[in-house]
Amino acid sequence: QSVLTQPPSASGTPGQRVTISCSAGSSNFGNNFVYWYQQFPRTAPKLLIYRDDQRPSGVPDRFSGSKSGTSASLAISGLRSEDEADYYCAAWDDSLSGWVFGGGTKLTVL
Amino acid sequence: EVQLLEAGGGLVQPGGSLTISCAASGFTFRANAMAWVRQAPGEGLVWVSTITGTGANAYYTDSVKGRFTISRDNSKNTVYLQMNSLRADDTAVYYCARDRSGTHYGFDYWGQGILVTVSS
């Protein structure tokens, strides 16, 4: 069971804005950053957001991240069919002294 | 161009051992921590282990402590994961990733993954 909780699925139509949540529950994120990864079927994950809200070079500005208290979110605006993928949040857990991932959210573009 | 290429996967019996490797290129290997992240079939991502750039420190998720050992050879730009006492629930695709958590950039490059199957 993941320490970080994500909804198993999300969906939207082309052009819409969708958000995917990531909850740390009562344990909080502490002073640690949240990261987001995108994964297409049978391919390696790709870093999408680092330090809560920063985009690596090459990631479209349609993708944005935010964090407040015990919850973080990934927002995708102007949804496109090629955004259909699995999305994972991750953070360092001080109590475990290790990285934890959310269970992943499968995004479907209707 | 950063490249990470895993090798050494395959089928192993329960209780057996296997060592997988990841050859890196395109960056200063010794200056970067490296990690292994695994994904069981149809499941999510799970961090397994991280080793610092010098190899002096290593970290493991609880489920593999005492069974897996991460190591690196900076002269060969290669990181290894030695897996002992393998169990069926270790079956997964294992990804090698550059771990830039020290500077808060996360896992910024990933290999293509290598399948490890534990079965009799």
What totals of helices (H) and strands (E) does chain A contain, helices first?
0, 9
**Least CA distance to A93: which residue of chain B?**
B61
**A21-35, A96-110, B89-103: least confidently modelled range:** A21-35
Q: What confidence tens digit (pLDDT) does each residue in A35-77 have?
A: 999 999 999 999 999 999 999 999 999 999 999 888 999 999 9
Q: Do B107 and A97 touch (CB under 8 A)?
A: no
Quickly tell me which residue has 């139509």 as its tokens: A13
Give the number of beta-carbon pairs within 8 Å between A and B: 61
Q: How far apart are CA A41 and CA A45, in angstroms?
A: 9
pLDDT at A101: 95
pLDDT above 60 (res A1):
no
pLDDT at A29: 76
Mean pLDDT of chain B: 96
Average pLDDT over residues B53-79: 97
Q: How far apart are CA B26 and CA B59, in angstroms?
A: 25
Average pLDDT over residues B36-50: 97
User: What amino acid occupies position B56?
Assistant: A
Q: What confidence tens digit (pLDDT) does each residue in A27-42 have?
A: 667 788 999 999 999 9
Window 4-43 of A, Cβ < 8 Å to B = 33, 35, 37, 39, 43
Least Cα distance to A44 among B98, B104, B72 occurs for B98
